[in-house]
A and B are shown apart, each in its own frame.
Chain A
Amino acid sequence: MWKTILRRILIMIPEVIILSILVFLLAKAMPGDPFTGSINPKADPAQIHHLMKINGLYDPWYQQYWNWVVHLFHGNLGQSYQYQEPVTRLIAGRATNTLWLALVTMVLTYAMALPMGVFAGRHEGKLPDTVIRVYTYVTYCIPFFVILVLGIWVFGYVLGWFPTTGSIATDANGWLQTIGSRFYHILLPAILGALFGTVNIVQYLRSEVIDAKHSDYVRTARAKGVPSKDIYRHHIFRNSLLPIAAFAGYSITGLLNGSIFTETVFSYPGMGLLFINSISYRDYTVITALVLIYGILNLLGTLLSDIILSVVDPRIRIE
C-alpha cells in the first residue's frame, strides 16, 4: 500500500519538472517583457536595455529558468502588475474562497449522484430509472453558464433567496456570522454546480451497477443466500464505486477549473475570477503562477485518484 503511494509520488517529480519548464517557456513566448508599459513611455531605450541586462533577461533560457525555480522555492512568484502586490499573497487570499466553493459543490454532487446512480441501476428500465436518465440528459445538454445566469436571475433576483455577488456580506461581524455569511454566499453556486454536475457520476454508476448485477460473483452471493439489500450494499455498491473513485481526484481539479465560470458569473472572488481578470489585464506574472498551480493541482488530482483506486481495488497494489 505505502509502496504504491511512494512510487506514485516519485513518478510525479519528473512530471512537475516538465510542467514547470512548459509553463516557463510559454510565459517567455508571450509578447512583451516585464518593462513594457510598466515604465514611463518616455524612458530611454538604453536604460531599458540596461534594466533587462541587470535582471538577467538576456541570459540563456535555462539560466533564466533556474533563477525562476530558485525564486519559486523561496515562495517568490513575482509581483502582480495590476494589483501591485506579491503574487503569492494575492493567490493565497483567493485560493481559500475557491477551495471552499469546490468542497461544498463536491459534497453536494456526490450526496445527490451516488443514491441516484445506484437507484437507477437497480431499477433499470423502470420508471424511476427513466426519470433519472432524462434528468441527467437535460442537465448535460444545457450549457453551464446558461444555468448559472438563469439561477442568479430566478433565485437571486426574482425570488431573492440568495446573494448574487461576492463571498461575504460587508456587515458580517463575529466568527459565527462570518462563517454563516460565507456559507450563504457559497450555497447557490454550489447547488447549481451540483445539480448540473451529477451526469457523469450517475451514468457511470448506473451502468456499473447494471454490469455488476449480472456478474458471476453476484450470482454466487445469491446462491449463498445473501439477502438482496446486502448484495447491493456489500457486493454491487463497492465494486461499482471503482470508476467513480477513479475520477474522484480528477473531479476535484475539474471543479477548481470549472470555478472559472461560476466565479465570473457570481463575481465570487476566487482563483477563477482572478485568472479571467489577469488575462484581460495581461497580468503575466499572475497568469504564469495560476497556470502552474492549476497544472500541479491536476497532477495532485491524478495522484489522489490513484491512491483511492489502490485503496478500493486490492488488485492494483504493488506487492
Chain B
Amino acid sequence: MNIIEIKNLKVHYPIRSGFWNRITDEVPAVDGISFNIRAGETYGLVGESGSGKSTTGKSVVGLEKVTSGSILYKGKDITKKENRRRLDYNRDVQMIFQDSLSSLNPRKRIEDIIAEPLRNFEHLSKEDEKLRVLQLLDIVGLDADALYKYPHQFSGGQRQRIGVARAVATHPKLIVADEPVSALDLSVQAQVLNFMKRIQRDFGISYLFISHDLGVVRHMCQNIAIMNRGRLVEIGTRDDIYNHPLHIYTKRLLAAIPETNVDQRAAHRASRLAVEQVYQDEQATYYDHDGKAFPLVAVSPTHSVALPEKLAQQLAQAETKREAQA
C-alpha cells in the first residue's frame, strides 16, 4: 500500500531581475518526477547537490510552493494548503533536517522544542505532556536533565537525536529525513541511523531518506530513486540499483564510492576512469538535447531507467547476460 504518491511534481523557482523586479526566468529545481512510497518502507532519494532532492523532500512536507503536479496522501492532493490543514497533514508527516544546530531555535529549551508539535495537535495536560517528552527523550537515549537545556549545550549527534525525538512526537506515518547524518562523523552516523531504524521497527514509520551518501542509503533503504538535474534517472530496489545499474549517471555515482581495500585501489581507479570515459563519450545518448534525463522506462517490475525505450531494453539484456555468465 502506498502512503505517498508523487505524480509529475514540478517546482520551478522564479528568477527576478530588472528595475521592476519582474520574473525573467525560472530555475527548474524539480522537473516532473513521479514515485510512490509504500507504508513502512525506507525510500532512498539520491543525487548530487543541486539535483533537487531536498526540494522534493520539502514539497512532500508542504514547505515548498509546488509549481505543478500532485502529491497524494490518503487520496487527497496535499500540495493544496487547505487539504493539508483538513488532514492535520503535518501531524502525520514530519521532517528531520541536516543541520541540527540551525534547525533548532537557539532560544528555546529542549522541552519546548519537543513539546511544540504536541501542543499543536494534541491538547495534553502539563503532566502528560512532560511524560510524553520524557518518553521521547528515552527512545533516543537522552537523559531527563536534557529537558531544561538549550540546543547549543549538546553534541551534534545528541542534537540530531533530539531532532528525531521531535519528529516522532506526534506518531507520524512518514518522516522525511533530509541528509540526517551527513553533518555527523561516522561513529555518530551509525548511532543516529540505528535509532532511526529502531523507531521504524517500533512505530511502523515510513522514511523518505534523502542522501548523497550511497553507503548510508544501502544500509537504510529498500527502494531507491536516483535524481539528476531535477529529474529521476533510475529507480529500483536496492539490488537493482547497486548490482545492476543501467544509467551512466548511476554508474558514475557508484564508481565514486571510495575503495578501502588498498590492493584494489588501482583496479578501482581504472574502472572509475572507464565509467568516466563512457560518460564523456556517450553523454548524448543518455541525455536528451537539453542535457535532461529522458522519461523513465520500465525494464523489470521494480526497475525503471530514464533512457530511450530501445537503449533501455538493450542495456537490460546485456545486464542479464552478464549476470548469467557470472
Chain A residues within CB distance 8 Å of chain B: 215-217, 219-227, 230, 234-235, 238-239, 312-315
Contacts and interface: CB of A to CB of B under 8 A. Distances in A.
B98 to A, nearest CB: 9
A121 B294 CA distance: 43
Contacts of A313: 106-107
Interface stretch (B114-122, B196-204, B306-314): B114-122
Contact of A235 (B91, B105, B120): B105
A221 B116 contact: yes
B89 A225 contact: yes
Nearest to A217: B105
A225 B103 contact: no
B61 interface: yes
Interface string B79-111: 000000000111100110101001111111000
Contacts of B229: none
Contacts of B90: 223-225
B103 A220 contact: yes
B182 to A, nearest CB: 15
Contacts of A216: 97, 99, 102-103
B94 A223 contact: yes
B95 A223 contact: yes
A226 B150 contact: no
The prevalent SS among residues of A at the interface is helix
Interface string B143-176: 0000000101000000000000010001000000
A223 B61 contact: yes
> Which of B91, B97, B121: most chain A CB closer than 10 A?
B97
Contacts of B108: 235
Contacts of B116: 221, 224, 226, 234
B107 A239 contact: yes
Contacts of B97: 216, 219-220, 223
A216 B95 CA distance: 12
A226 B116 CA distance: 8
B107 A314 contact: yes
Contacts of B170: 225
Contacts of A234: 116
Nearest to B94: A223
B270 interface: no
B152 A315 contact: yes
B257 to A, nearest CB: 29
B103 A227 contact: no
Given A219-B63, A315-B150, A225 B117 contact: yes
28 contacts: A215-B102, A216-B97, A216-B102, A217-B102, A220-B103, A220-B104, A220-B105, A221-B116, A222-B63, A223-B61, A223-B90, A223-B97, A224-B90, A224-B120, A224-B166, A225-B89, A225-B120, A225-B170, A226-B120, A235-B105, A235-B108, A239-B105, A239-B107, A312-B107, A314-B107, A315-B106, A315-B107, A315-B150
A217 B63 CA distance: 13
Nearest to B151: A217
Nearest to B149: A314
A219 B103 contact: yes
A221 B103 CA distance: 9
Nearest to B118: A224
B107 A227 contact: no
Nearest to A222: B63
A159 B152 CA distance: 58
B318 to A, nearest CB: 44
Contacts of A225: 88-91, 117, 120-121, 170
Contacts of B105: 217, 220-221, 235, 239
A314 B150 contact: yes
Contacts of A312: 107
Contacts of B95: 220, 223
A226 B97 CA distance: 16
A314 B170 CA distance: 27
Nearest to A220: B103
A280 B63 CA distance: 65
